[in-house]
Structure 1
Amino acid sequence: MASNNATSNEFFSMGSEVSCVTYLGEKITGEVIAFDYQTKTLVLKHPSTSGKANTNNISLLNLSNVSDIKVLKEGADQDFELCAISHTKLRKRLNQEIQAKVNMAQGSSMGVTPDGLKVFAFIFKTIEQCRWNDKSILVMDEVLINPPYRSEDCIAKDGKEAKALDHVRKIVEKYHKDHGNIRQVQAT
């Protein structure tokens, strides 16, 4: 069964393997673990992107945002045992994502450059204790990163936190190295 219109009157049985393409071009393939016809929500289980054994990613797809769905393999009618979900971890992850979006919106509203927003997001993945201080990034209330957000733009807030400063500089250097930013110059 294939469909160009993801909101058609399809039903997805548990255990089926499906491949979806979102309107943004993202392809997601996984095993159906739930489908809600009323809200057109499909829940897929697929291998973890973290690479950890015995873990899976769970994707909730609003079929209104899916351009194409193909059923690769029909699921057999059988009972499925759902894995336990840690509500504490889920709540923590939700709060982290909300805070990340709020931080990005704050930076954007202050006129921070797109590169500055990306550096902030990269640091936030490692160190959640970061916030905007005008157009500068304040990390752990100890290190300030001023525009244009290179490693040499990192300064210790009180001039004493050498360990924290070195750590943040390494993260900023890694961002620029990973993103091929030629402007990044090794701090001396």
Structure 2
Amino acid sequence: MSSALSEHHIFSPGALVEVQTVTTETITGEVLAFEYDDRLLILKSQSSNGSVNSSNVTCLNLDLCGAVKIISEPDAERLAAEGIVPNAKLPEIDLKKLDERLANAISERRLLVEAYKNGAGLEGVSLYTRLQKTVGESFGISWDRDSIIIGKNIRIAKPYTADCISFFNTGPKPPPNLKTSLNYAKQLVEKYWNDQNKASYNLTPLPSGGSPQARSTTTSE
């Protein structure tokens, strides 16, 4: 049975509610989450494209909505089986950690721009980005003008192929463990270029001129 709600009502996950927006649109859906302090309600409803494998998810600021009604209360047994705690407060966001991530992202972007200006080009920046995602946390990736430095002792110079990888600041006899790291770096660079070659198209001109097109092959039965 539907009922009108007070502004202090706390919505439980699993409840079916009906909300009227300021544009007089009516949205009916299941409560996924509710943040009491900010009056933020998240509803799941039937997919607008008719798919049974997906759902619409709508975020509503109740301060900007009209009437809100409960159609049905949540099924306590189902919520318990799914591990949902009714009226649980959402965890607080670590703003300090978000600020640190933002600062690191800005600093990283500036390094890429500086390296590009120093002559690294798109190839160098792209390879650097791949290595940063692959081994950045383990070894540390940095720039020395247009050369990529892995850790403290491996340099990748232009044009950034496996043959351009060498030791850096190791003295006349590099430690044995660095040779393993050097070979690993070569494998990573070779894989990067192999992936690039697979992703590129083999272009051929049209017989009558004009724009090039991707080469295709056909087979007959």
Aligned with 2:136 (options 127, 130, 145):
127
What is the alpha-carbon distance in structure 2 between the residues aligned to residue 149 and residue 95 of structure 1? 28
Q: Are the equivalent residues in 2 in contact too, given 1:116–1:147 (CA < 8 A)?
A: yes
Aligned with 1:136 (options 147, 165, 175):
147
* Structure 2: unaligned runs, 5 residues or longer: 1-21, 28-39, 48-55, 65-85, 200-221
TM normalised by structure 2 equals 0.44
| Structure 1 residues 94-131: Cα deviation after superposition (integer angstroms, max 9, x where no partner) | 34323321221111121221011100111112215222
Cα RMSD (Å):
3.9
Q: Secondary structure at the match of 1:118?
A: helix
What is the alpha-carbon distance in structure 2 between the residues aligned to residue 172 and residue 116 of structure 1? 11
Number of the residue aligned with 2:181: 164
What is the alpha-carbon distance in structure 2 between the residues aligned to residue 154 and residue 83 of structure 1? 46
What is the alpha-carbon distance in structure 2 between the residues aligned to residue 132 and residue 89 of structure 1? 25
What is the alpha-carbon distance in structure 1 between the residues aligned to residue 189 and residue 60 of structure 2? 40
> Displacement of 1:85 after TM fit?
3.8
The verdict on how the C-alpha distance between 1:84 and 1:163 changes in structure 2, with shifts beyond 3 A counting, is farther
Number of the residue aligned with 1:100: 108
Q: Are the equivalent residues in 2 in contact too, given 1:100–1:124 (CA < 8 A)?
A: no
Aligned residues between the structures: 126
Q: Are the equivalent residues in 1 in contact too, given 2:41–2:60 (CA < 8 A)?
A: yes
Aligned with 2:122 (options 90, 114, 126):
114
What is the alpha-carbon distance in structure 1 between the residues aligned to residue 154 and residue 43 of structure 2? 50
What is the alpha-carbon distance in structure 2 between the residues aligned to residue 34 and residue 177 of structure 1? 49
Larger relative contact order (Cα-Cα within 8 Å, sequence gap ≥ 6): 1
Number of the residue aligned with 2:41: 14
Once the two structures are superposed, the pairs formed by residues 21-36 of structure 1 within 5 Å of their partners are: 32=59
* Structure 1: unaligned runs, 5 residues or longer: 1-8, 20-28, 38-77, 183-188
Number of the residue aligned with 2:91: 83
Q: Are the equivalent residues in 2 in contact too, given 1:142–1:164 (CA < 8 A)?
A: no
Q: Are the equivalent residues in 1 in contact too, given 2:42–2:57 (CA < 8 A)?
A: no
Q: Secondary structure at the match of 2:148?
A: strand
Number of the residue aligned with 2:163: 152
The verdict on how the C-alpha distance between 1:102 and 1:34 changes in structure 2, with shifts beyond 3 A counting, is farther
Give the greater-gyration-radius structure (CA): 2
TM normalised by structure 1 equals 0.51
> Displacement of 1:89 after TM fit?
4.9
